[in-house]
Structure 1
Amino acid sequence: MKIRDAINEILDELPDEELQKLYWSIRIFHEHYAFNRTLQDKGVVISPLYEDREHIKACWDKAFAHHVPDEIKEAIHYDQYKWHLFSYEQADCLQAEEARAAFDQMVKGDLYVMYQHGPDVFLYEHAKDLVSTDFDAQQDIYVFDREFSWTYVHTHEAMCGPYFATSK
């Protein structure tokens, strides 16, 4: 039996309310697949970084939030969303279309990518053809160069971001 036939057999047995729940799970899976496929089609090689991930996250914090006192970080809920640094205007940045344009114009080689609510950090090799719209379906994603000289952030909030900032 083909896998699609087996799946269809299972789906045929489920009531509509269960199918509704399943739809959203499948949709999320499909969006993840489409995102990775887009990157692969552009020649990007994605590798998870297990050993250096905490160090890389700390370097991002040092590069973009070093000047913000801990009391301010607490007040803006930095631990929940690092991008609050930009939405609460605690760091200079470009926003919306200006941020997109700045990211699109950057010369990109290898990039780091992390998500706010995920433990992993990824290395995107051969990322020269990536553009801001590639990240539109992603939530709370931080894209930055290996030198930590700039970052592009796409949030889950339609009225916040995206943001583009350079380190100082």
Structure 2
Amino acid sequence: MNPLIERLTAKGVVVTEYENRGEQAREEWKNCFVLIEERSQYRPYLWEYLVEEMDGCLVGKEADVALRHTAKWKCLLFFEHSNDVLELELSQAQTFVRKDLTVAAGDYADVYIVDPAYTWTYVIPHEADWGPYFLIKSTMKRG
């Protein structure tokens, strides 16, 4: 995790680390970004819910562009398998790219970013051929 924090702080991001909040963040993410009818279906990774025919979800470079254009002063970054949560203060940050947010493997490989109110999310899966994904809660609908 330290290399991730170092990369972010080098870009001017103020990082506050919280331990033991990952489960809460994942549950809130699921409540906000997984349709009710899908919640009973098991998926090994949360990001797989976005893959299942979700209209309104941007993928790849479109997702990267959407993240850059989203009004964001603070956001939360959490992971699929870690209980660590990072609060990112972005008001003085330089532009960062996807690789600045990723960790190669392990508990930190799947990255989830949300605004504090969970109105949008940006997800970087550990699978190189998938994502990233960007979804605004108000645009969620089934295709």
Give the TM-score of the pair, scaled to structure 1: 0.67
Which of 1 and 2 has higher RCO (CA within 8 Å, sep 6+)?
2
C-alpha separation in 1, matches of 2:118 and 2:76? 9
How many percent identity over aligned positions?
Answer: 27
Aligned to 1:165: 135
1:74-105 Cα distance to aligned partner (Å, 9 max, x none) = 2xx1xx21000122224641001111111111
Conserved 8 A contact 1:85-1:91: no
Aligned to 2:7: 38
1:153 aligns with 2:114: no
C-alpha separation in 2, matches of 1:117 and 1:51? 11
Unaligned segments of structure 1, at least 5 residues: 1-31
Aligned to 1:132: 97
AA at the equivalent of 2:51: S
C-alpha separation in 2, matches of 1:136 and 1:56? 18
C-alpha separation in 1, matches of 2:120 and 2:128? 22
Aligned to 1:86: 50
Conserved 8 A contact 1:114-1:142: yes
| Pairs aligned (count) | 132
In angstroms, what is the RMSD of aligned CA positions?
2.3
Flag the structure with higher helix content.
Answer: 1
Q: Which moved more, 1:87-96 or 1:106-115?
A: 87-96
Give the TM-score of the pair, scaled to structure 2: 0.77
State how 1:1-168 maps to structure 2 within 5 Å.
32-50=1-19, 53-71=22-40, 73-74=41-42, 77=43, 80-90=44-54, 92-126=56-90, 128-133=93-98, 134-137=100-103, 139-168=109-138
